[in-house]
Amino acid sequence: VNSKVFINGKFLDPDQATVSVFDRGFLFSDSVYEVIHVDGNKLFLFEEHIERLKRSLSELDMDFPNYDFLTICQELLKISPVDYGGIYIQVTRGTQQPRSHFWHQKKLLPNVVAFAQSIKRPEKKALKAITYPDLRWGRCDVKSTSLLANVLAREEAAKNSCDEALLVSSSGWVSEGSSTNLFVCRNGVVKTPPLSENILPGVTRKFCLEVLNELAIPYKEEKLSKEELFNSDEVWITSSTKDVLPLESIDGIELKFEMENSLWEQVFNRFKEKKLKSLK
């Protein structure tokens, strides 16, 4: 595939696109990222992702890099079109040598990387999940590349032939998936954990809430216990590459989910329609 990687102002071949081993992103995960969804070679919710990137950077006291990310994304998609997938963007605090935990009074230049990636278009199919302890830090609202607790959880799901790991706090609250936000419904009412420092403010989560509003489906943003998860009629996950998908089992326990006439199907259909209109 004739793809390029954007790195600090240049579009390079993947094997030419390198950062120093003294980059703070590499040494400390001192960096933030976004994955902007692409469908039919068009961007979905671009501005929302850039707004979140700005917020993540500002929370970590990093400047927003002086690049036109829309042009970068469009250029990447021109070089290698993506039928379904995303554009990954990462901004690190920069390269600092010698290695040091703090950067006070050091003038660092951020390293900025972006590339397009294709993935298989998800099938309209219910997924399987496991539950897993939420071992993450106290600022999960910042989209940092410190994803060790997320990837360990997701790997455990993969080992169990599952598609996602739902993260449970030590007090028994379910916050979100390893890379998805979580919705449940019971007796026609939808519930999703509220925005807090314990979850990522998903752009797909927000879009899904807009869809619920349009369909006049009642919803609450409230904390969700593990027990409630298993007592729900439907459980859905949302993310930039999955849109909104239902679960059929958690920890090997069947949820008795029927796709036909489900609330999910209503939401999925409206989501698709609304998505097509907002692709750019």
Q: Tell me whether residue 143 is one of the annotated catalytic residues.
A: yes
Neighbours of 255 (CB within 10 A): 20
Which residue is catalytic, options 4, 128, 143, 275? 143
Contacts of residue 148, defined as CB under 8 A and 6 or more positions apart, other chains included, come to: 29
238, 244, 247, 268: residue in contact with ligand PMP (rule CB under 6 A): 238
127, 166, 200, 244: residue in contact with ligand PMP (rule CB under 6 A): 200
Nearest Cα to Cα of residue 215 among 247, 190, 244:
190
176, 211, 271, 275: residue in contact with ligand PMP (rule CB under 6 A): 176
x/- map, 133-172, ligand PMP, by CB under 6 A: -----------------x----------------------
Which H/E stretch holds residue 24?
helix 24-28
Q: Using the rule CB under 6 A, is 239 a contact of ligand PMP?
A: yes
- The piece of 4-12, 23-31, 108-116, 203-211 that touches ligand PMP (CB under 6 A) is 203-211
Buried b (16+ CB within 10 A) or exposed e, 51-63: ebbebbbeeeebe
Q: Using the rule CB under 6 A, is 179 a contact of ligand PMP?
A: yes
95, 131, 204, 232: residue in contact with ligand PMP (rule CB under 6 A): 204
Calculate the dihedral angle through the C-alpha atoms of 237, 242, 246, 247, rounding to the nearest 10 degrees: -80
Q: What's the per-residue H, E or C state across 89-141?
A: EEEECCECCCCCCCCCCCCCCCEEEEEEEECCCCCCCCEEEEEEECCCCCCCC
- The piece of 153-161, 173-181, 256-264, 269-277 that touches ligand PMP (CB under 6 A) is 173-181
Closest approach of ligand PMP to the CB of residue 260, in Å: 26
| Distance from C-alpha of 164 to C-alpha of 71, rounded to nearest angstrom | 33
Closest approach of ligand PMP to the CB of residue 110, in Å: 20
Closest approach of ligand PMP to the CB of residue 187, in Å: 26
| Distance from C-alpha of 201 to C-alpha of 141, rounded to nearest angstrom | 6
# residues near ligand PMP by CB under 6 A: 14
DSSP per residue over 156-221, as a string? HHHHTT-SEEEEE-TTSBEEEESSSEEEEEETTEEEEPPPSTTS---HHHHHHHHHHHHTT--EEE
Q: Using the rule CB under 6 A, is 180 a contact of ligand PMP?
A: yes
Report the residue number, 174 or 200, with the smaller CB distance to ligand PMP. Answer: 200
Q: Using the rule CB under 6 A, is 56 a contact of ligand PMP?
A: no
Closest approach of ligand PMP to the CB of residue 22, in Å: 27
CA angle centred on 108, ends 102 and 113, rounded to 5°: 110
- The piece of 1-9, 154-162, 234-242, 261-269 that touches ligand PMP (CB under 6 A) is 234-242
x/- map, 205-224, ligand PMP, by CB under 6 A: x-------------------
